[in-house]
Structure 1
Amino acid sequence: MKKIMSLVLTAALSLSVVLPTATVSAASTYNYAEALQKSFFFYEAQQAGPLPDWNRVEWRGDSTMGDDVKGGWYDAGDHVKFNLPMAYSAAMIGWSMYEYPEGYEKSGQMQAAKNNLKFVLDYLVACDKGSSVVYQVGDGGKDHTWWGPVEVIEKKMTRPSYTGTGSCVVGEMAAALAIGSIVLNDSTYLTHAKSLFSLADSTRSDSSYTAASGYYNSWSGFYDELLWASTWLYVATKDESYLSKAEAYVPKLNRQGQTTNIEFKWSHCWDDVHYGAMVMLAKLTGKQEYKDFVQMHLDWWTVGYNGEKIKYTPGGLAWNDTWGCLRYATTAGFLASVYADYTDDSTLKTRYESFAKTQMDYCLGSNPSNRSYVCGFGTNPPVHPHHRTAQGSWADNMNTPPYHRHILYGALVGGPSSGDAYADTVQDYTANEVATDYNAGYTALLAKMCSVNGGTPLANFPQPEKKEDEFFVEAGVNSAGPNYTEIKAQMTNQSGWPARTIKDLSFNYYMDLTEVLAAGAKASDLTVKAGTAEFPVTCSEIKQYSGNIYYVKVKFEDGTNIYPGGQSPFQGEVQFRISAPTSTSYWDAKNDYSYDGLGTSSVVKTKKITVYDGSTLIFGIEPDGTTVTEGPTPTKTIAPPTPTPTNSSTVLKGDMDLNGSVNSIDLGTMRKYLLGLMPEITPIQLKAGDYDGDGKITSIDLGYLRKFLLGML
């Protein structure tokens, strides 16, 4: 987790790193519109609670639905909702919409910006409890002990919420809502901004802001947030009392060391927002004292002030800190852009505009490594960000799998060392952490870049990802005898599109009973018994699938106990034995469909043991060729077997394959008949499918069959 200062460096990782070269690629103009487009994808990947219908991240699902306050953004690669950096990030996006609406319009990202800003501001409103606020949901310590997708975190731990009146977080929430009230023209946000500012100003203490300790301490105190909030409330209301309050806070700001100067040698960030507030005061009042401060601060970032200057890497990055160096540089670039647009001094304008573009372009590829530091953008971007859900581990292990299953488009990583060295590895959270506040100033600066350079967002973004098998069975022969076969099966949940659980989870094991029937026995002469099971299961009686093919269904009483949350929970083992009577010798498993390929020494993944969510096939290939498509309806890859003739007087409505039961296979058969994808049907099949009795099968009958399968008839 990032910190406000690097007090102690972690032990060096044994990693290969990219060393800086002697030259830097020439700065160029990148497709800033694409970068801005993807930055909002990252914010959508951070969304908590019920996802809005405009969310574009196919590998994310509804999550932490038990939170006291639903919604908001997860902070970084973890799953805690910290309101201080969250509100700061929202404020920065709102500020960029205020300054550079044309950048959003030119890039086609205005609606995305509005959607994402409204999503988080609505959460901040819900956190406003009047005399206090919910300022954090989730325990940072517990959360960081587990490495898994957020959709199943509530299976692992409870998520406490923390309430208080800390002026730093309440003030930051007020500022974000005040800005939102302007750019989204929402009076509700302004009402809450006013009341929250009043609470923060009357409290003037951070004593109740404790739960974020060690993650987001209020190192700078609360006067910077009070200054920030009152300044924006003045912009939103034109009420002079807010401007008076803002100016009264300025003398209370922290000083630089032992000098009388206001602290200027850092960066606008989640902890300290007085830098941005002073930029706004300079613009609003034109007072020289505010302009002097802003120029002192920005000169420290660029050419130096009184012989003091921020450190630069050999490749040209203004490097402020070990943690999140790129977010500091791009945020400083945004402030420089805003002030450059305000000042009449042509020298300062050129200086600050050049600085902003140089820092942005360093992130996008103009650096010694000629690489992008933004996931899914540009040349050789990071592919191992320190982000649990994007990595998609099912085993509570950042090394499983050894790759990321998802592309975290638009996420700005922490960045390189002071020597431009960088390691793209998930273990290096210093270099490869991502966070909402990392992207905040970066997104804001992109809006400026788009306002000047335009750009073209990608069409049809994002493209669908290639999915891996999410639910499947690994099986082997546990033991066998002359009249029985015992199967060891491991039901596996490695879901990631999105990670999820299934309550009604089951699998089918198929048998060919030709030799049993030839011996004069019946399927009912066989028995199925569940043995060892990690989770409670039930085994069905042996049922006919088609012809001499039969199956047993092994159903988990509660499939949600198998989830992608660790070595133990992602897989559930069950052993079951299929037996003929003791004195018989006709049992032979070797011709069984699901037995094919199974060994005795270990389990193997097999598509011939099919997995179901309720009645819907989600993995494997049934004996007649039915397999899974991207949609919910299975499709046949080979022609179905010819139905066995049945007495027409006893035909079951909907039983299109005439096997004595009605299921999703019948629905698929009827749909194919209506689409002209199967041969002529028999009179008995016509009678089975003709629900409304009009002598033919139509879409009306298909509707009746669907309702029956859904339990509506």
Structure 2
Amino acid sequence: MQPKKMAALVKVAAAFLGLISIVTAAEVTGSRRGHDYGDALSKSILFFEGQRSGKLPTNQRLTWRRDSALKDGSDHGVDLTGGYYDAGDNVKYSFPMAFSATMLAWSVVEYGGAMGEERRHALEAVRWGTDFLLKATEKTNVVYALVGVPVEDHHCWERPEDMDTPRTSFAVTDKSPGSEVSAEIAAAMAAASLAFKASDPRYSKLLLQRASQVFQFADKFRGSYNTGLGQWICPFYCDFGGYQDELVWAAAWLHKATNDAKYWNYVKQNIQGMSMATSAFGWDSKHAGINVLVSQVYFNPFILNADALVCNVLPESPSKSEKFTPGGLMFVDCMCNLQRSAAVSFLFVTYGTYLQKAKRTINCGNVVVTPARLIEFAKFQVDYILGNNPMNMSYMVGYGHKYPERAHHRGASLPSIGDHPEPMGCSGWSYLNSSNPNLNLLVGAVVGGPDGNDQFADNRRDAKYSEPTTYVNAPLVGILAYFKAH
């Protein structure tokens, strides 16, 4: 080969290597230790038992947790017991709870066969959420969106088992609508109907019927719950991105569950004007999830949007917009950053499996992306969470040799009922401020994660980094099941 041609090829290669330096350097580091994905899967599901509200069953495995909030809904003469506390506090928010249930159900639908014995526990986790959502939607044109008063709850550091803060119930109605929370509940029940279709067809049918009813309510009485419930919902779970994406998301799940063309037509008609070529996905934004979910339907514009998701994220893509830490973790400077990595990684694994079946690749400019590359990227993100990171720390409590010991979580940090039977009330501030490890192990909890420089202080007071949430764990369940089987 002529020297000039050789030099030109070297320059091209160097430029390409420069594009992917952030991922290759990190992935070399990230590959240094393998992981027991089966163990991580078991623990990621077990975490949901630590978040349970209501009357706990006899097979409760995290036994330091006990019954709590047994009168929820009594202020309105309804039964709103059960469901999940969303994070480290004692409030029940239907919006993020429903998204967590949707992602748990999607995990079972896609990867239930890879879960082995854990599939039963995963379905129990789904049902604990959907049983509550059925109660919250039992009255026509009424959807309960919140139980508890967030500000007053946050003024106390107390166990859920003997909390004495108000348990007020708040609902959206035809007079004061909440399309985002209602539509997300419809999506959760439609997804769960698929998860239970084989094992419990009667429950599956009930969920699907209710999903259709709640979707009709969400669509007919349009409006954001920010308007009527903003003083209680905000700033914790305001709808920052509008409710249109939740309506389309719910219709997409109803189409998947029923194959009814009216839902597919709804998706196509109501997507107009929405910015869909995005990597946004989480409890408040369903855009990227919609693209992946419906990409298996005959050719449609959402496939191009799903491809754009990949090109927006991958470090070697010339059109990437995602930011990464020096260690290679997807990073957005926000509360609970690992939600981003977990949720997008779920989409990458799922879209990668869809692409494999279709025998298709993606072109990001001049970069050809294979399905294997999507799965490789997701694996790196998951391995980072499990311990292959500059801190050599697993961000899942109870997994690995080093993990967070001071998660921002009331129940985990305070003495359990078994160790301290007397009511404690709003007197636990010394436990919040203590530098000692939590008294109870919230197994499987994935905390908010490191900062933009891959550093983590393990400080209970810094909720931004140390608080676990159901909507981080939920997508991880599916990913871990996939890697367990592969």
- Shorter-normalised TM range: 0.7 to 0.9
Q: Deviations over 1:580-629 (max 9, x none)?
A: xxxxxxxxxxxxxxxxxxxxxxxxxxxxxxxxxxxxxxxxxxxxxxxxxx
TM-score, normalised on structure 1? Answer: 0.57
| Aligned residue in 2 for 1:116 | 125
8 Å CA contact retained: 1:95, 1:179? yes
Separation in 2, partners of 1:302, 1:401: 39
| Aligned residue in 2 for 1:212 | 233
Which residues in structure 2 correspond to 1:532-611 (within 5 Å)?
none
| Aligned residue in 2 for 1:62 | 67
| Aligned residue in 2 for 1:89 | 100
| Aligned residue in 2 for 1:272 | 285
SS in 2 for 1:189: helix
Structure 1 position 408 matched with structure 2 position 421? no
Separation in 2, partners of 1:64, 1:162: 15
| Aligned residue in 2 for 1:365 | 387
8 Å CA contact retained: 2:343, 2:476? yes
Change (3 A) 1:411 1:284: same
Separation in 2, partners of 1:34, 1:22: 22
Displacement of 1:401: 8.0
8 Å CA contact retained: 1:270, 1:437? yes
SS in 2 for 1:100: helix
| Aligned residue in 1 for 2:250 | 229
Task: Choose 360-369 or 346-355, whichever is displaced more.
Answer: 346-355
- Between Structure 1 and Structure 2, the one with more strand by share is 1
| Aligned residue in 1 for 2:12 | none
SS in 1 for 2:296: helix
Q: Deviations over 1:398-438 (max 9, x none)?
A: 13583311111000010111110111111111110111112
Structure 1 position 445 matched with structure 2 position 479? yes
| Aligned residue in 2 for 1:10 | none
Displacement of 1:269: 0.2
Separation in 2, partners of 1:93, 1:400: 34
| Aligned residue in 2 for 1:151 | 161
SS in 2 for 1:419: coil
Q: Deviations over 1:256-313 (max 9, x none)?
A: xxxxxx351x4310001121111112112332x2111111112211136554431111
Structure 1 position 345 matched with structure 2 position 367? no
Across the two proteins, how many residue pairs are aligned to each other? 419
| Aligned residue in 1 for 2:50 | 45
Q: Deviations over 1:326-385 (max 9, x none)?
A: 221121111011111111235331221111100000000111111101101012111100
Separation in 1, partners of 2:460, 2:373: 36
Q: Deviations over 1:240-268 (max 9, x none)?
A: 10111011121142x3xxxxxx351x431
Change (3 A) 1:23 1:33: closer
Separation in 2, partners of 1:450, 1:32: 5
Q: Deviations over 1:22-75 (max 9, x none)?
A: 993534431111111111211011000101222211111110111101000001
Change (3 A) 1:121 1:245: same
| Aligned residue in 2 for 1:378 | 400
Amino acid in the other structure paired with 2:105: G
Separation in 1, partners of 2:403, 2:310: 29
| Aligned residue in 2 for 1:200 | 218
Displacement of 1:120: 1.0
Change (3 A) 1:151 1:263: same
Structure 1 position 104 matched with structure 2 position 115? yes
Q: Which sections of structure 2, spanning at least 5 residues, go unmatched?
A: 1-25, 74-79, 198-203, 362-368, 416-423
Separation in 1, partners of 2:287, 2:468: 24
Which residues in structure 2 correspond to 1:382-401 (within 5 Å)?
382-392=404-414, 394=424, 395-397=427-429, 398-399=432-433
Displacement of 1:320: 2.5
Displacement of 1:131: 0.9
Structure 1 position 127 matched with structure 2 position 136? yes
SS in 2 for 1:24: helix
Structure 1 position 294 matched with structure 2 position 306? yes
Separation in 2, partners of 1:352, 1:306: 16
8 Å CA contact retained: 1:25, 1:368? no
Change (3 A) 1:27 1:442: farther
Displacement of 1:117: 0.7
SS in 1 for 2:433: coil
Q: Deviations over 1:88-109 (max 9, x none)?
A: 000001001111122212xx20
8 Å CA contact retained: 1:100, 1:451? no
Displacement of 1:209: 4.3
Separation in 2, partners of 1:388, 1:365: 25
| Aligned residue in 2 for 1:7 | none
8 Å CA contact retained: 1:363, 1:373? yes
Displacement of 1:173: 0.1
Amino acid in the other structure paired with 2:239: S
Separation in 2, partners of 1:116, 1:373: 21
| Aligned residue in 1 for 2:4 | none
Structure 1 position 283 matched with structure 2 position 296? yes
| Aligned residue in 1 for 2:337 | 325
Displacement over 6 Å in runs of 4+: none
Separation in 1, partners of 2:64, 2:339: 26
Displacement of 1:447: 2.0
| Aligned residue in 2 for 1:464 | none
8 Å CA contact retained: 2:30, 2:380? no
8 Å CA contact retained: 2:314, 2:320? no
Q: In the alignment, which of 133, 137, 148 is matched to residue 138 of structure 1? A: 148
Separation in 1, partners of 2:34, 2:280: 25
Higher relative contact order (CA 8 A, sep 6+): 2
Separation in 2, partners of 1:143, 1:323: 19
Separation in 1, partners of 2:68, 2:62: 13
